Amino acid sequence: MKYCFGIDIGGTSVKMGLFDTEGNLLEKWEIPTRKENDGEAILPDIAASVKDKIAERKIAADDICGVGMGIPGPVTPDGDVSICVNLGWKERNPGRELSELLGGVPVRAGNDATVAALGEFWRGGAQGCKSVVLLTLGTGVGGGVILNGKVIDGAHGAGGELGHIVVNPDETLRCNCGNYGCLEQYASATGVVRVAGRILASKPEQASTLRSIENYSAKDVFDAAKAGDAIALEAVEILCKYLGFATANCAMTVDPEVFVIGGGVSRAGAILTDGIGKYFEKYTPLLKTKAQFALATLGNDAGIYGAARLVI
Ligand SMILES: [Zn+2]
């Protein structure tokens, strides 16, 4: 049996999976992401963990076909990273470095959201489709585009960066990327909480269950909306509207069969897909057959599946 590793590097932990080359996940585990010193320890930590697993399972060096890796930032087709804010990395080629640390094992790296889209395409909510766009609604908003089975990463590694599509040019708050009015500012977990806060502040006379919850979360906002809370419903409506707007623009660019919605916020379920679908319908009169909206099914494992797929 041949093996490969799928690795998903996040800001707090590195998720790791051992797969066989049929694509079966044999084992998964996590190690902490040590971001101090510009994240210098991250790749050596990953290499050590991979070596430990190879030794523990007594896998022969010849039976390792490669390591795939998802990275939270833009990655060029050659695997170059110019900056990765979440890890503290500046210019480097993490795939080449990890390969050297592992004695020449082939390593391929890609953007984490693109890699997660590949996972959902291969083993999750978009199986059987040829063209799919994944939106990951978490702390930020990630995106991945697969067109006719091919990952679209663009000339500069920014292909599929759907979180930074501008949906509101009149926004006065700045996005993490330096721009104003990005999708991420409304459709991420932090975004929906902030939008709800804005509405609460603008309507001090209106009752809302959110007022009694200290440090309410995105889940609290969705739960309140499902219970009919008018302020929470308004925040969810804004999120759905901007997601409908962004996905409609995306459909006019790449016209996928399905949009897969993943990340922690996607646990809100049908209120989200129905809400986005309503605005998507409104903004795509040109499309006679509309793209479907589906929920991701691999959850937090989409990244390791997609990373493994990079080398299988
Ligand atoms: Zn942005």
User: Please, where are the H alpha helices in 109-188?
Assistant: 112-123, 184-187
- 115-130 pLDDT, tens digit per residue, is 999 999 999 988 889 9
Q: 168 and 42: one domain?
A: no
Q: Which two tokens stand for residue 34?
A: 């040590």
d(CA 31, CA 53): 12
Centre of ligand 1 to C-alpha 128, Å, is 32
Q: At what angle do helices 302-311 and 112-123 cross, to 10 degrees?
A: 90
- 152-201 pLDDT, tens digit per residue, is 888 887 888 899 999 999 999 999 889 999 999 999 999 999 999 999 99
Ion ligand 1 neighbours, Cβ < 5 Å: 164, 175, 177, 179, 182
Domain that holds residue 170: 127-296
When divided into structural domains, the chain yields a total of 2
- DSSP character at residue 180: B
Mean pLDDT, rounded, for 49-71:
96
Q: How far is CA 237 from CA 177, 241, 275, 283, 284, in A?
A: 24, 6, 7, 15, 18
Q: 94 and 212: one domain?
A: no
Centre of ligand 1 to C-alpha 174, Å, is 8
pTM of the model: 0.84
CATH number at residue 206: 3.30.420.40
Q: 201 and 263: one domain?
A: yes
Q: Could you tell me which of 151, 204, 183, 196 has the C-alpha nearest to residue 247?
A: 183
Whole-number pLDDT of residue 83 = 86
d(CA 295, CA 226): 18
Centre of ligand 1 to C-alpha 186, Å, is 11
Centre of ligand 1 to C-alpha 164, Å, is 4
Centre of ligand 1 to C-alpha 116, Å, is 20
- DSSP character at residue 188: S
Q: 21 and 168: one domain?
A: no
Centre of ligand 1 to C-alpha 263, Å, is 18
Centre of ligand 1 to C-alpha 140, Å, is 9
SS3 130: coil
Q: 252 and 200: one domain?
A: yes
Centre of ligand 1 to C-alpha 162, Å, is 9
Residue 257 has pLDDT above 80, yes or no: yes
Residue 23 has pLDDT above 80, yes or no: yes
Q: 180 and 224: one domain?
A: yes
